[in-house]
Structure 1
Amino acid sequence: MEEIKTILLNREPPILAPGDKVFDESLVDRIESLPQSKNVRAGLHLLNDDIHHAHLLAQSIEGDPIADYWHAILHRREKDYSNSKYWFSHVNSDVLKKVYGQSSISLAKQKSFAFVDQCEKVKSGRDSELEHRQFEEMKSVLEAAIKRE
């Protein structure tokens, strides 16, 4: 896992909405074969721009706070903004508070909705500041998933 994680965490920040383009196809099967939890693998797939596999894993453990967070991010990356907000409304995790620098879940959810709105306004699909923020968010959620193992 360390090699895969190094590759994915040292890449340029992923674009906001990758469509069907996976960053590194050679990592898909390697991620799937890892013994790590579904949450860790979902995060690695999402960092690899593999929305499909991330979605399958997150959906299979719906109700888990980290899985629901992955679900929210992946829908934002699919440009399914209302569904992203739906999933953010279900995230009850200290990770959300940490990422959005808030002391309460309620305030963190408001900030996450605002970030979804900012992403929705990007018509070209590229915004380096938002891409960087999204990348840092995904790194934080992955770190939380790894710590739970």
Structure 2
Amino acid sequence: MSFNPDDYGPVLAEWLRIKHPVNLGPGQPDESLRTRLGELTIDHAFAHAEVRDAEMAKACLSGVLLRLDFLDESHTISQGIDNSTGSFWHGIMHRREPDYGNGKYWFRSVGRHPVLAKLANEYPGFTAEGFIDEVARCTGTGVTDEQRCQQIQQREFELLFDFSYRGAVV
């Protein structure tokens, strides 16, 4: 399955099309976008669809913010989502801070999430905790493993965002 931003309605698609590097660490948010963060509300972002699960809609917003390196804003949302998908976004955010121990804690709360199973299928041997260790080893080294980590993290985002969105809308 290829990731197509247009599958998620016009507002989310616009945010998902913003060019931004895949950062394994905290990255640097584009401060020119900060004035537009108010657009990332459930009502506005999901105006094109009927929301059946507000928690999953919040997960989408958390994911968009995380993708664009607004870690604090993403964290505020994800820590208030009381399900395994919220824990998943929360764990990614802590992995990126980097606070690897806290990331592992949140991934233990995720349990047997369907996205983790898909990642293990696409990347044999993948585990959330093992990936945290891999990111810790390759972050900032410029070695080819860093590119592999970025590829996995990008795919993780695509799968988790799609899962969150599908859970949010009717």
Instruction: Tell me which interval the TM-score lies in, with the shorter structure as reference length.
Output: 0.7 to 0.9
Q: Is the deviation greater in 47-56 or in 8-17?
A: 8-17
* Alignment TM-score, normalising by the size of structure 2: 0.71
Q: Among residues 83, 87, 102, which one is paired with 2:102 in the alignment? A: 83
Please give the alpha-carbon distance, in whole angstroms, between the structure 1 residues aligned to 2:97 and 2:41. 21
Give the length in aligned residue pairs.
Answer: 142
Change (3 A) 1:2 1:132: farther
Secondary structure of 2:79's match?
Answer: helix
What residue identity is the alignment partner of 1:87?
W
Q: Does residue 120 of structure 1 match 2:136? A: yes
The residue correspondences of 1:29-48 to structure 2 (distance < 5 A) are: 29-32=38-41, 34-36=44-46, 37-48=57-68
Change (3 A) 1:140 1:123: closer
In the other structure, the counterpart of 1:73 is 92
- Structure 1's unaligned 5+ residue stretches are none
Please give the alpha-carbon distance, in whole angstroms, between the structure 2 residues aligned to 1:136 and 1:11. 16
Asked if 2 retains the 8 angstrom alpha-carbon contact of 1:72 and 1:88, the reply is yes
Identity of aligned residues (%): 24
Please give the alpha-carbon distance, in whole angstroms, between the structure 1 residues aligned to 2:130 and 2:99. 14
Give the aligned CA root-mean-square deviation in angstroms. Answer: 2.6
Q: Is the deviation greater in 6-15 or in 120-129?
A: 6-15
Asked if 1 retains the 8 angstrom alpha-carbon contact of 2:62 and 2:78, the reply is yes
What residue identity is the alignment partner of 1:85?
K
* Alignment TM-score, normalising by the size of structure 1: 0.80
Please give the alpha-carbon distance, in whole angstroms, between the structure 2 residues aligned to 1:40 and 1:46. 10
In the other structure, the counterpart of 1:143 is 162
Please give the alpha-carbon distance, in whole angstroms, between the structure 1 residues aligned to 2:141 and 2:63. 21
Please give the alpha-carbon distance, in whole angstroms, between the structure 2 residues aligned to 1:69 and 1:129. 20
Secondary structure of 1:148's match?
Answer: helix
Q: Does residue 22 of structure 1 match 2:29? A: yes
Deviation at 1:5, TM superposition (A): 3.0
